[in-house]
Structure 1
Amino acid sequence: MSKIDIGIGEKDREKIAGGLKHLLADSYTLYLQTHNFHWNVTGPMFRELHLMFEEQYTELAEAVDDIAERIRTLGVPAPGTYQAFAQLSSIKEVAEIPPATDMVEILTRGHEQVVKTCREVLKSAQEGDDESTVALVSDRMRVHEKTAWMLRATSQ
């Protein structure tokens, strides 16, 4: 592959991509949790939560692709294994099938964690003058902040 010359130095590209790897791992882990809860939710709010979780995991599936492609655009390999995601993610897997109310709480915390990860990536993207990553990460923050709000509103 030819040399990358997009106006962002190699060290900055690697640092930004490193942060994006964490964002990708968090997003993928949250995607898996959301899909798992979609399949396994039960109780009086079944239909509402089943449909909400489907909307959320569908959105996350597109997001992980966008994040991985940004990492590749910066010239760095994107992680793509469960092992790599487990090492990089700040979101821990849930082994059991929790009650629906706990699912909502777990996903709320997951979305809030992704927002925190976004904030870290945003700093390095701004320092590296990488407006494309800034735009991507800012968009992701808005989605996760809104989703966390909607999940919190469901549990009140």
Structure 2
Amino acid sequence: MKTTIGITDKNRQAVAEHLHAILADEFVLYTKTRNAHWNVEGADFYDKHLFFEKQYNQLADMFDRLAERIRFLGHYTPATLKQFLELTHLTEMIHETNDSLGFIKELNEDHNTIITEMRKIIVPIAEEYKDQGTSDFITGLMEEHEKMAWILRSHLR
């Protein structure tokens, strides 16, 4: 059945393409956070093991809501690792040691990248593509990333 939600097909397609990239970013960051959870070592292992678990659970909820938003617009989500790696703004982690501060620094940088990418599309999605709902949705996701980045950054002081 055709999606008729007051946004043109062309605009829904453009918005979905932006959301595909964000979904890829979320999934790659989720995977990198899982890696930190599984592989962190050091005197603070237990604390950081639980900390990274909390963060990846937050990310899992975020990318699930994002995938559902894409479906609300009448589009399918990318759902393979190959697609995610082609669409993401992030790089896979190349981490030489498994200490918590190294993981935290890299994950913080990734959150900052996602925040920056989201800021670039919030206004165009609302104004150019006439999709205020998705613009507001992305703003909410961005705020969640800002909080997660702040928490990570606080460990680096």
Identity, in percent, stands at 36
Aligned to 1:77, the other structure's residue is in SS state coil
Query: Aligned residue for 1:15?
Result: 14
| Offset of residue 131 of structure 1 | 2.5
How far is the alpha carbon of 1:74 from its aligned partner? 1.0
Number of matched pairs: 155
CA distance in 1, matches of 2:149, 2:46: 19
Q: TM-score, normalised by structure 2?
A: 0.92
In 1, the alpha carbon distance for the partners of 2:108 and 2:68 equals: 26
**What is the aligned partner in structure 1 of residue 59 from structure 2?**
60
Partner AA of 1:35 in structure 2: R
Tell whether the 8 Å contact from 1:19 to 1:120 is kept in structure 2 after alignment. no
SS at match of 1:80: coil
Residue number in structure 1 paired with 2:106: 106
For residues 6-85 of structure 1, the aligned pairs below 5 Å read 6-85=5-84
Residue identity matched to 2:89: S
SS at match of 2:146: helix
Q: Which stretch of the first structure deviates more once superposed, 95-104 or 139-148? A: 95-104
Task: Point out where structure 1 has 5 or more consecutive residues left out of the alignment.
Answer: none
The letter of the residue matching 2:23 is L
The answer as to whether partners of 2:95 and 2:102 remain within 8 angstroms in 1 is no
Question: Cα deviations across residues 81-129 of structure 1 (Å, max 9, x unaligned)?
Answer: 0000000001111144533211010000011111112113313321222
Q: RMSD in angstroms over aligned alpha carbons?
A: 1.3
Listed as ranges, the gaps of 5+ residues in structure 2 are: none
4+ aligned runs moved over 4 Å, structure 1: none
